[in-house]
Structure 1
């Protein structure tokens, strides 16, 4: 067998290597309406695809969407109405800040803490940079979290007060909801506010 034939045979045995891809395959968000809330049903799978902690992604989503939420069994539940595209846009923003290397563009990175600063280190090219917490716009955040007397809001009762009233939270406000029990999702009317306390009744 001559040299060229041997070389052709050897090359044919080498598997094809994909090029140009970034090796990042993130599943589409699965959104589900849940009363006054929206579930991100496959949040855990998305975080796993990004090789990031689910709670870290969940907290970023709350800031990006300017809302409150809960994480339970890998499912995110957020106050408000959101489409799958809203979740996907927030995930894309998270990916650019906390996953993708700004030098080589690859996702082969990890988050490390150095001198109280969160750093993104790339295992592919060796680059590193600090990451910063991003939040929704100040105007959107204020609109989402403000509580005004005479207005109605959907809330989830998460605690019970000393007098047996339900207790809910919206932004920095603690809201007392007489007649509601822990776990209830209700529509309330704000009757009065005092500092970061609000007093309501069922609407």
Structure 2
């Protein structure tokens, strides 16, 4: 059997998945915090979750577990029980970004969370990698 190199190369290229990459870089909006009594309110929480391309409930669940406090999500803002500083939220959002948004293979933020039975996987739209993530 004799194969032409160009034909084989074209066939291989046709079988490759299309790369879907966001053109802009992932930038989180500045966190707008208000402290009222013993509550901390993030006014632009929905914008932050949209920038991460994640469900706000998933992000708030991560933050409440890491901060060991209660929180609610209402009208695009998150209300946390207790007084917290903006830098602690920024640090935790960076950890969330590394663990649940950025692909561990190609380091791009073009991912989505896929739940299969009891396990959750981080599937990359750019490189096609599928890696398991820690359950919340």
More relative contact order, 1 or 2 (CA 8 Å, 6+ apart): 2
* Match of residue 98 from structure 1: 100
Q: Which residue of 1 aligns with 2:119?
A: 117
Q: Distance in 2 between matches of 1:49 and 1:86?
A: 19
Structure 1 runs of 4+ with >6 Å offset: none
Q: TM-score, normalised by structure 2?
A: 0.79
Q: Give the paired residue count.
A: 114
Structure 2: gaps (5+ residues): 1-22
The RMSD of aligned alpha carbons is: 1.5
Q: Secondary structure at the match of 1:121?
A: strand
When normalised by structure 1's length, the TM-score is 0.54
Paired with 1:63 and 1:94, the residues of 2 have a C-alpha distance of: 12
For residues 122 and 24 of structure 2, what CA distance do their matches in structure 1 show?
A: 17
Residue 57 of structure 2 corresponds to 55
Structure 2 CA distance, aligned partners of 1:66 and 1:133? Answer: 16
Pick aligned residue for 2:33 from 31, 44, 66:
31
Q: Is residue 102–residue 111 contact of structure 2 (8 Å, CA) maintained in 1? A: yes
Question: Which structure's CA Rg is the greater one?
Answer: 1
Give how far 1:115 is off.
Answer: 2.7
Q: Structure 1 regions of 5+ residues with no counterpart?
A: 1-20, 135-203
Going from structure 1 to structure 2, the CA distance change for 1:133 and 1:116 (only over 3 Å counts) comes to closer
